[in-house]
Amino acid sequence: MINVTKPFLPEIEEYIEYLKGIWERNWLTNNGPLVNDLELKLKDYLQAKHLLYLGNGTIALQIALKALGLKGEIITTPFSYVATTSSIVWEGCVPVFADIDKDTFNIDPAKIEQAITDKTTGILATHVFGNPCDIDAIQKIADKHNLKVIYDAAHCFGTLYKGKSVFNYGDISTASFHATKIFHTIEGGAVVTNNPELLKKMAFMRNFGHETSETFAGVGINGKNSEFHAAMGLVNLKHIGAIMQSRKEQCKMYDKELADLRVKRPKIQANSEWNHSYYPVVFESEEFLLRSIAELNDNWIYPRRYFYPSLSGLNYVQKGDTPISDNISRRILSLPLAHSLKREEIAFISRILLRVQNN
């Protein structure tokens, strides 16, 4: 069986080494030494000024929205994972959808500008599949209208924009280190910012608002992560170079094998270095996509319709006018990609897709 992805796992001995330390210290969570060490190493890797390691990427979005004090309407993309939209609603704000660019699948800056009202306070954009948004255009709009910018950078481990880590842009960027992501800590996430005041605020928020054990800086939540999760991150970080390299090679193999398949691939943003974290293809029709999935499933291959459905159709939001996102989400499929995926498997998957097309 081949799934859309398979989490990377190191040799168990590498992880056990870290477990021994945890047993010796008997310090399991609450900002322990491994969490601190991972934060330093991630800061370094992501060239981040300030970074907080959190329980997951969804709590990262919620803390970012809360720390910026966003209220009213947030302009966001309909083409993302559900957590991008649900976090906005969870924080008591209203998501307003701006349609995506037909080539990059990222939020279209021109549509953002059209969606601004006097209730708009921020923009929450996703760098879809690790492909950076049109960051300069978005920042220009934000500056002009005095809006905060949060980037959902859940897919972006290792992505660069203008030679710098993509995590450097916007007021806050969020990461997910969920098991399905290119770099993972089983469950995990982070907020990244250049603003020391925001860092301070988010650090309190992550830990129930505690200032000292008996005083509180404000309302908080439990956004912490454990020593066991940090240990997985520290081990996996040692392998990230090999993981990134294998993804790149796998994407190249798909490109070659699928050269004759009539599908569209996302256009990578200019001035950026993509991390090859997903391999999405957009078919000519939903019918062709469904036939391809059926044939792959018959061969024990399970790609994923990602992102589908378009988030403007969720039953708890006001439907927006997002024809491009609606259309692409019906036709897009993420093909299997994982560190353990073999060359022959990519060739096999590709042959099946070409057979469906040519039948």
Ligand X SMILES: *Cc1c(COP(=O)(O)O)cnc(C)c1O
Site residues (vs ligand X, CB under 6 A): 56-58, 80-81, 83-84, 126, 152, 154-155, 176, 178, 189
Q: How far is the CB of 297 from ligand X (least distance, A)?
A: 23
Q: How far is the CB of 181 from ligand X (least distance, A)?
A: 6
Nearer to ligand X, 261 or 314 (CB): 314
Token couple for 233 = 């991150």
What's the chain's Rg over C-alpha atoms? Answer: 21
The 8-class DSSP code of residue 312 comes to G
Distance of CA 342 to the CA centre of its chain: 25
Nearer to ligand X, 99 or 152 (CB): 152
Nearer to ligand X, 132 or 350 (CB): 132
CA–CA gap between residue 95 and residue 286 (Å, rounded): 27
286-298 vs 343-358: helix crossing angle, rounded to 10: 130
CA–CA gap between residue 83 and residue 189 (Å, rounded): 13
Find residue 356's DSSP bridge partners: none
Q: How far is the CB of 17 from ligand X (least distance, A)?
A: 26
Nearer to ligand X, 22 or 154 (CB): 154
Q: How far is the CB of 334 from ligand X (least distance, A)?
A: 11
CA–CA gap between residue 164 and residue 160 (Å, rounded): 5
CA–CA gap between residue 344 and residue 133 (Å, rounded): 33
Q: How far is the CB of 2 from ligand X (least distance, A)?
A: 20
Q: How far is the CB of 126 from ligand X (least distance, A)?
A: 5
Nearer to ligand X, 63 or 353 (CB): 63
Question: What is the pairing mode between strands 73-76 and 94-97?
Answer: parallel
Task: Give 94-156 as a DSSP string.
Answer: EEEE-PBPTTT-SBPHHHHHHH--TTEEEEEEE-GGGPPP-HHHHHHHHHHHT-EEEEE-TT-
Nearer to ligand X, 66 or 178 (CB): 178
